Structure 1
Amino acid sequence: MAVQQFEEAADRLNLSEDMREILRKPKRELTVNFPVRLDDGRIKTFTGYRVQHNVNRGPAKGGIRYSPDVTLDEVKALAMWMTWKCAVVGIPYGGAKGGVICDPKTMSPGELERLTRRYATEISIIIGPHSDIPAPDVNTNPQVMAWIMDTYSMHEGFSIPAVVTGKPLSIGGSEGRNDATAMGVLFVTRQAARRIGLPLRGARVSIQGFGNAGSIAARLFHHEGCKIVAVSDTRGGIYNEAGLDPAAVLRHKQERGSVVGFPAAQQISPQEVLEVPCDILIPAATEGVITEANAGRIQAQIIAEAANGPTTPQADRILGRRGVVVIPDILANAGGVTVSYFEWVQDLQSFFWGVEEITQKLEIIMNRAFAAVAEKAEQYHCDLRLAANMLAISRVAEATQIRGIYP
């Protein structure tokens, strides 16, 4: 999908074959195999990756995920998307991604810490506050970032908080980081709704995925006056056309481990959450959930992609023909990396901002990015995804062209 989207945008930009050759391939791919001592005394060898796609606009930036499903191809695609995501919102980063093949749900906190510290040591040859700055992703969190920061700092002999973002506040994390992705989704959805004349107050919102981004989006959109009609997690979904109280749903999930069983709501499947009657659909779970098979049944006017890659290219074409506005992932969920950038800047200057200032700066950047993408879409008579990719790729291509080829 990542390469297909790149080629389509490159065609519209009339990008030279030389430039395509540079931008379609990662700059660096590191594979590491490392031993970790388990709690029972056994030694297990794990495989991890760190891929830097492009660093022509600045240091590489991207998350680290822990999952049994991690592959080098997946990490390469996500690194490429990170390059475009940073470029589309205009922050001075290139794209990177990392991952370890493991099942963190079966590991103890001690095992996770030993795995993290050893993985951090293995990739320390290419990460750094001015070269490559990791962040949390699937199954990683502020504690994992704290271990990476501490490990890197121990090697250097002094504290280097700017080596990672998404850290706890007590060691250089940023205010507003937790809400950042969902806040960015709200800002760009507000802009898209204005463009099609949809008032947010009273708009029906369905959210697939009630994790960090999804549950916070539910709270923010509810506060904006929207009606949250459906939410889901991996176990199932719930629907109430009269609206759900996000705070009550979150309490239920924290007590029961799932939104399933929430009183005064109809039980539906996570797939059905995509197809309920709504004005705004927020896929906030995994890749490839909106496909050729279900795109025709989606009833939303706006789809805001809080997840990475939730819509397949075939589904995009169907949604485009039906006039559905799709705010692409590289724009919609870029609030997270934008506030990561704020955290990095604050760490480098050892001077921290309040949450109001951070929210205000984030809104300015997201609104500016949406306006630039919308202008590109009108100029080329295309959808927002192609416009966002074209804007991002043209910015990276320009930086590459200006810097020239060394030597």
Structure 2
Amino acid sequence: MTTNVPLLQETGSTARDEGPLADAQAQLAAAVATLGYEPGLHELLARPRREMTVSIPLRRDDGSVEVLTGHRVQHNFSRGPAKGGVRYSPRVSLDEVRALAMWMTWKCALLDVPYGGAKGGITVDPRRYTRPEIERLTRRYTSEILPIIGPDKDVPAPDIGTDEQTMAWMMDTYSVSSGYTVPGVVTGKPVALGGSLGRASATSAGVVHIALAALEHRGITATRSTAAVQGFGKVGADAALFLAEAGVRVVAVSDQYGAVHQQDGLNIHTLQQHAAATGSVVGFPGAEAISGEELLTLDVDLLVPAAVEGVLTGANSRDVRARVIVEGANGPTTAEADRILADRDVLVVPDILANAGGVIVSYFEWVQSNQAYWWSRQEVDDRLARRMHTAWHHLLDAAAARGLTLREAATVTAVERVADAHRTRGLYP
């Protein structure tokens, strides 16, 4: 069903550790106050433009039927088609998807990509289902949200619990309904189906471009620095590898099962092989076992939270010893933690810049799919690096000019661009 939703938080309220939606709304409210926008424009920016919640009947391999719930939220499309990932996780809720869709709007605007923000997901633990069941689940979800997606409407991509195979199934389901192949309906596809070279590791590469720039900004030499990476999935594993290749000593990584620590530096290539063989970083030979919470407070130069939202909170942020935090995940730092870290002069590079490499190369893939013209890996990597470094320097300038933190400056810049697009287009009567 498609619904209009009320304003989800009083515009003047202050979010604490209440979840990602409260944090997203608080960030928007602060940006609106800085920009001096009227309440009507604030409300327009706070509300998702369109939401769809669907029931997904799934026939299990044993013949039984289970009904799951899926969502697709389109926060804003004033600057172009909606864009955002699809996640399969037991944590998925409508409020989480609303927050992630809003952050996607700001991310696309900050990086000057001609998209609005969207997000989708199914409340499901994909580890409990077979591959054929996941395929049926994906195809049914796609068919349910099919009326609101499309290469000129809303372009999904992989996220937590989904991958390029998931996108192949979504593309095929949409294409079968259309009667012809529509490669531009999703991004993050296999290269054989029109995916872009470099897309799979783009988010990780973008995180590392920004991490190295942030270390330099703080006067820290990369080859003499240490790092801890929370999360060893799509983003964290390659981010750890690229950091190590750049000369950073990665001393700890974690996943949902635990964390490992080695003060003289982990061999990330070998650790990736271990995780692929065992399903976890836990038990890596020669490393000390620590908890995921301990990893967040290690004495390192750089911390990369690259798992899920809300891991740095008011309860643990005073114990964080990293001098630079680069957000590989969406919303890993709560509003209260943000204030504490700012007071302690910890440089926090916000998610809407730090992990934007994925949406940038998704944009490149979308352009290539629509034009049926493919770029080399070197072209993709070079274009990504230029985009990330340009956005970084613009953000530093904006923060200095307004006397804001990087997150505040990023949100203000993005909100201003979206609001300008809306005002230029006008309000349809």
In which range does the TM-score fall when normalised by the shorter chain?
over 0.9
Range 3-12 or range 41-50, more displaced: 41-50
Match of 1:22 among 36, 44, 47: 44
Equivalent in the alignment of 1:369: 391
Offset of residue 35 of structure 1 = 2.0
Code of the aligned partner of 1:150: D
Instruction: Please report how far the alpha carbon of residue 241 of structure 1 lies from its aligned counterpart in structure 2 after TM superposition.
Output: 1.4
Where in structure 2 are the equivalents of 1:338-349 lying within 5 Å?
A: 338-349=360-371
Corresponding letter in the other structure for 2:367: V
Matched, 1:334 2:356: yes
Q: Partner amino acid for 1:284?
A: A
Find the counterpart in structure 2 of residue 395 from structure 1. Answer: 417
Asked if 1:281 is matched to 2:342, the reply is no
Q: In the TM superposition, what is the alpha-carbon distance from 1:107 to its structure 2 partner? A: 1.1
Whichever residue aligns with residue 92 of structure 1, its letter is P
CA distance in 2, matches of 1:69, 1:242: 35
**Structure 1 match to 2:93:** 71
Aligned to 1:199: 221
Q: Give the 5 Å matches for 1:69-218.
A: 69-218=91-240
Residue in structure 1 matched with residue 3 of structure 2 by the alignment = none
Runs (4 or more) in structure 1 with deviation over 3 Å come to none
Q: 2:61 aligns to what?
A: 39
The match for 1:8 is: 30
Report the Cα offset of residue 43 of structure 1. Answer: 2.2
Cα shift at 1:112:
1.1
Q: How far apart, in 2, do the equivalents of 1:207 and 1:37 lie?
A: 38
TM-score under structure 2 normalisation? 0.93
Q: Distance in 2 between matches of 1:358 and 1:295?
A: 36
Aligned to 1:241: 263
1:45 is displaced (CA, Å) by 2.0
User: What does the per-residue CA deviation read over 1:259-292, in whole Å, with 9 as the maximum and x for residues that have no partner?
Assistant: 1121222111011111111101000111111111
1:220-235 alignment runs, 5 A limit: 220-235=242-257
Equivalent-residue separation in structure 1 for 2:195 and 2:216 (angstroms): 34
Q: How far did 1:256 drift?
A: 2.1
Partners of 1:281 and 1:120 lie apart in 2 by 36
Residue 103 of structure 1 deviates from its aligned partner by 2.2
Q: Deviation digits for residues 147-197 of structure 1, max 9, x if unmatched?
A: 110010001111000000010111001100111011111111222222221
Q: Find the aligned partners of 1:362 and 1:280 in 2 and give their Cα distance.
A: 22
User: Partners in 2 of 1:180 and 1:98 — Cα distance?
Assistant: 20
CA RMSD of aligned residues (A): 1.0
Report what 1:304 is aligned to.
Answer: 326
The Cα shift of 1:34 comes to 3.2
Whether 1:317 and 2:339 are equivalent positions in the alignment is yes
What SS does the aligned partner of 1:96 have?
strand
Kindly state the Cα deviation for residue 240 of structure 1 after the two structures are TM-superposed.
Answer: 1.4
The 5 A counterparts of 1:250-269 are 250-269=272-291
Q: Kindly provide the amino acid, as one letter, of the partner of residue 345 in structure 2.
A: G
Distance 2:321 2:389 in 1: 26
Question: Quick one: distance in 2 between partners of 1:136 and 1:239?
Answer: 29
Name the CA distance, whole Å, in 1 between partners of 2:213 and 2:244.
Answer: 17
Q: Which moved more, 1:60-69 or 1:127-136?
A: 60-69
Q: CA deviation at 1:21?
A: 1.3
Q: What secondary structure, in the 3-state scheme, does the structure 1 residue paired with 2:223 have?
A: coil
Indicate the residue corresponding to 2:16 in structure 1: none
Aligned to 1:270: 292
SS of aligned partner of 1:124 = helix
Summarize deviations over 1:276-313 as a string: whole Å, max 9, x none: 11101000111111111211111111100001111111
For 1:286 and 1:394, how far apart are their aligned partners in 2? 27
Rounded Cα–Cα distance in structure 2 between residues aligned with 1:379 and 1:137:
34
Unaligned runs of 5+ in 1: none
Query: Percent identity of the aligned residues?
Result: 50
SS at match of 2:303: strand
Equivalenced residue count is 407
Partner of residue 11, structure 2: none
Q: 2:7 is matched with which residue?
A: none
Q: Could you tell me how far apart the structure 2 residues matched to 1:16 and 1:297 are?
A: 39
Separation in structure 2 between the aligned mates of residue 124 and residue 137 of structure 1, nearest angstrom:
19
The answer for unaligned runs of 5 or more in structure 2 is: 1-22
Aligned mates of 1:254, 1:110 — CA distance in 2: 21
AA paired with 2:215? A
